[in-house]
Structure 1
Amino acid sequence: MKLFLSFFILFTTSFFASAQIDSRNRSTAIPAVESKKEVDNTPKIIPSQPNNTNNATFGSLNVPNLSTGIEAPKKEFSLFGEKFGNPGELYTKQLNNQLANTKLTPKEVEERNGSSTDQYLGDFKSNAKFVNISYRDHGYVDGDLIQVLVNDDVVQARVFLNGGFSGFKLDLQKGFNKIDFLALNQGQSGPNTAEFRVIDDMGNLVSANQWNLATGVKATIIVVKE
């Protein structure tokens, strides 16, 4: 009986030990759940292949030749940059005038360029009560302007010289009547050119003359009433 009991205990112990070992080896495997892959919706940029036909090569590097599509005009190389007109041409006219003046007499130069000194055109006697003074541009009408003074008083402040005569009536004082014609400019071509006439109350010509004046120069006549 004791032998049987011992055998039963030994068998039971061996059985549970075997079952425990087998349970360890036969553990239940839980399958892994594969997660859903995230979808990348970002557009992929495929790099363009370089065009080697227009590239310049420096060692192992390819440098592209950039082109704007606009071709710059070809300029002739000049050491002094932009080309301008000959500076001497700016003074050609002045030089020609100076050369021409060397061939002229002083009187001809004055007539050409205008007198730079005041001109006294004479004195004349008259018994008239008044005289008519008239003037005009005896050359090309180019905008010549004059001022007229009598005994240093301005009687005509600004007169435009036309091709026809215009003027004013002057009552003569006893004694000297000084009449000044002052050139205010030289017009467009210069000098200030004019012709004047002085006619008495009887229609007699007292004086007539011309002037060629530079700006600021005056021509003077004197009418003496006896």
Structure 2
Amino acid sequence: MKRFLFFIIIIGLSSKAFGQIEFKPKFKAIKPQTTIAKPKKEKDIPPPTNFAKLDLPKIVAPNVLKETNIFGTKPKPDNSFEIGTPENHFSMTPKNKFEHKLGDVYQDKMTKDLSKTMIREGLKEDKSLLDRVDRYLGEYRTKSEYFTVKYRDYIVIDGDLINVYLNGKLLRSGLYLNSEFGEFRIPLNLGLNDIEFVVASMGTSGGNTAELHVLDDVNRDITTEYWNNLALGVKIKMIVIRE
């Protein structure tokens, strides 16, 4: 009986020993690594290739000077704030709106008064009273081969000029009317001679003024004429018939 119990105990201990060996873990745990991961640089990150390309419109600021408003019109540019442009009238210095105006008024008045005084004293012609009427000196018959014309300005030497025509053709151009007499000859054709003295310049102080003497070939006086304040283009005409 004792042997049987001993045998049972031995078998139980053996099975327990085998069981512990069978269920004992067969692996060994691995310790985790302690290395620190370095962050990747931007150049090391490859560009994404799996995203669809988006076609986004370009953002442009609106141009308020080109866009039309609700009325269909474009606003006018206001560059009054720009410095250095011809249209810029901005200034930090206040200005008097009557600046220079008073002086201009007095200057104009003095000029008009001086002009009236010169006209009254006979030193200047009055342009407001210009004579624009052509003149006719008459018809003359003669046996002279030529006429002598003496001319001058008897008031103010200011650049008065006259042109002389014979039968429509220019005979003398730009005769200057000086204080001293100038003279020239007009050859006369047999028959009709149409002579015209035409105002070519009024000078600087008013209308054209002149003193004119016409003489035959033996210095006999044919006609004498004075004119004053003639307008540009006025004609003084005479007819001479050579027999």
> TM-score, normalising length from structure 2?
0.50
Asked if 1:210 corresponds to 2:210, the answer is no
Give the secondary-structure state (helix, strand or coil) at the position aligned to 1:184.
Answer: strand
Tell me what 1:3 maps to. none
Q: SS of 1:185's equivalent?
A: strand
Return the offset for 1:154.
0.5
In the alignment, the residues of structure 1 paired with residue 126 and residue 216 of structure 2 have an alpha-carbon distance, to the nearest angstrom, of 31
Does 1:153 find its partner at 2:150? no
Identity over aligned residues, as a percent? 32
- By how many angstroms is 1:193 displaced? 0.6
Write the mapping of 1:1-226 to structure 2, written as runs, cut at 5 A: 80-84=97-101, 85=103, 87=105, 90=108, 113-212=129-228, 213-226=230-243
Q: Aligned residue for 2:50?
A: none
> Unaligned 5+ residue runs, structure 1?
1-76, 99-108
- CA–CA distance in 1 between the matches of 2:196 and 2:203? 19
Deviations 1:119-173 (A, max 9, x none): 1122222121211112111212111111111111101111111112212112211
What letter matches 1:225 in structure 2? R
Q: 2:186 and 2:142 mapped to 1: Cα distance?
A: 13
Deviation at 1:93, TM superposition (A): 6.5
Q: For this pair of structures, how many residues does the alignment match?
A: 141
Between the aligned partners of 1:92 and 1:201, the Cα distance in structure 2 is 51
Q: Secondary structure at the match of 2:238?
A: strand
User: d(CA) in 2 for partners of 1:195 and 1:183?
Assistant: 13
Cα–Cα, structure 1 residues 81 and 97, in superposed 2: closer, same or farther, change >3 Å?
closer
CA distance in 2, matches of 1:111, 1:225: 39
Q: Per the alignment, in what secondary structure is the counterpart of residue 116 of structure 1? A: coil
Segments of 4+ moved more than 6 angstroms: 91-98, 109-112
Distance 1:110 1:93, change over 3 A: closer
Tell me the SS of whatever aligns to 1:206: strand
Evaluate the alpha carbon distance shift between residue 81 and residue 188 of structure 1 in structure 2; reply closer, same or farther with a 3 A threshold: closer
Counterpart CA distance in 1 for 2:162 and 2:224 is 17
- Tell me, in whole angstroms, the C-alpha distance in 1 between the residues paired with 2:234 and 2:208: 9
What is the TM-score of this pair, normalised by structure 1? 0.53
